């Protein structure tokens, strides 16, 4: 019989039991953290999209071969593709933004302007292959239009989302596409699907890319799609 683990009447609490409880709590917290991260990895790859949409071949898929990460997100918008398309053409840094929630803009992109809530005639444009969309201060990061077929297809391609010093010193590279596909539905509606395909090098950057970008894409992509839906529906139907 072990007396060291039994607290005497009026004495100090059982130290061994307290330690066991803390260990159990630590294991539960670790399990919940892992489960939450796994959920973000799952949702970051497919939230809002159907199985058929994820398996569908889309324009732009061939631009990045053997991607380390592929995400698909989609939403139905109560406005026709012609009413949604202009919002895509004014996207960009210090342009229309990306229609993400304000808290995301303030937290992750404090140097950028808030996403516009209206279409700006000075920013809406006819996109063509080779046009660029800035994604940071001049000379830092941008997208190149790989394909533009209004009002149905927009494919953006970037190899600039790595600091130049990383490219020179570490051989780091990120090659990714961001594609938007609008399908008209009955009742003046649009099915908007967004697909990201990305590949990174060397191996440590590829691991970090998968670990960080996929969960973040759940917040960014779903927030952007909801922001687009709200803006396009309000513009189409009126206040």
pLDDT digits over 109-145, tens only?
A: 787 888 999 999 999 999 999 999 999 999 899 999 9
Q: How far apart are CA 225 and CA 26, in angstroms?
A: 37
pLDDT of residue 2: 45
Q: What is the mean pLDDT of residues 199-217?
A: 91
Q: How confident is the model at residue 157 (pLDDT cuts 50, 70, 90)?
A: very high
Helix-helix angle 203-237:81-89, to 10 degrees: 130
> Mind listing the domains of the chain with CATH numbers?
45-237 (3.30.530.20)
Instruction: Give 65-108 pLDDT, tens digit per residue.
Output: 999 999 999 999 999 999 999 999 999 999 999 999 888 888 87
């Amino acid at each position: 019989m072990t007396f060291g683990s039994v607290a005497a009447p009026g004495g100090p609490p059982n130290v061994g039991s307290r330690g066991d409880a803390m260990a159990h709590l630590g294991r539960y917290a670790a399990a919940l953290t892992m489960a939450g991260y796994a959920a973000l990895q799952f949702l970051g790859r497919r939230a809002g999209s159907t199985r058929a949409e994820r398996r569908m071949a889309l324009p732009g898929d061939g631009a990045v071969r053997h991607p380390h990460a592929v995400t698909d997100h989609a939403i139905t918008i109560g406005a026709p593709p012609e009413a949604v398309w202009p919002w895509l053409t004014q996207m960009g840094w210090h342009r229309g933004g990306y229609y993400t929630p304000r808290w995301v803009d303030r937290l992750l992109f404090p140097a950028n302007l808030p996403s516009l809530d209206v279409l700006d005639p000075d920013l809406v444009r006819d996109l063509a292959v080779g046009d660029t969309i800035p994604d940071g201060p001049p000379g830092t990061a941008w997208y190149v239009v790989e394909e533009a077929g209004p009002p149905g297809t927009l494919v953006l391609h970037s190899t600039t989302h790595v600091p130049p010093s990383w490219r020179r010193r570490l051989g780091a590279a990120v090659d990714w596409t961001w594609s938007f596909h609008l399908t008209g539905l009955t009742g003046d509606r649009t099915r908007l699907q967004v697909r990201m395909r990305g590949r990174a090098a060397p191996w440590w950057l590829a691991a970090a890319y998968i670990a960080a970008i996929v969960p973040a894409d759940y917040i960014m992509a779903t927030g952007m799609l909801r922001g687009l839906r709200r803006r396009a529906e309000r513009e189409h139907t009126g206040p």
